[in-house]
Homo-oligomer: A and B are copies of this chain.
Amino acid sequence: MNGPGHNSVSVEELLQLIERWEHLNIEKRDIADCQKEVMAEAKGRGYDTKVIRKLIAERKRDAGDMAEEEAVLELYREAIRMQTGPRNQPTNGDT
């Protein structure tokens, strides 16, 4: 009842999408395993993994804060532009 080009194609492409997603997930798992290995190595060398995780979290926050600071600065710049721009580009007299 269904000729070619009907939803059998959809099923095929749906499966391909799903399998692509699943394959990517496998890669993620592999990388996570590598991370566990790194932690294991750290522990093997006598480091406290809990402390290391704290350090990583801190670094992450620091990186994030830098970005956030930038965003805030940009926000302020924009706010300033909205005040100075519309009003007159004002005190600048060298036009």
* Complex Cα gap A92–B22 (Å): 37
Copies of this chain present = 4
Whole-angstrom CA separation of A47 from B20 in the bound complex: 15
In A1-43, which residues have CB < 8 Å from any B CB? 13-14, 17-18, 20-22, 24-25, 27-28, 31-32, 34-35, 38-39, 41-42
Shortest distance from the beta carbon of A66 to any chain B beta carbon, whole Å: 14
- Our pick among B20, B51, B75 for the contact of A75 (Cβ within 8 Å) is B51
Q: Given A24-B38, A25-B35, A35-B24, do A17 and B72 touch, yes or no (CB 8 Å)?
A: no
Convert A41-83 into 0s and 1s, putting 1 for each residue whose CB lies closer than 8 angstroms to a CB of B.
Answer: 1100111101110111011000000000000100110010011
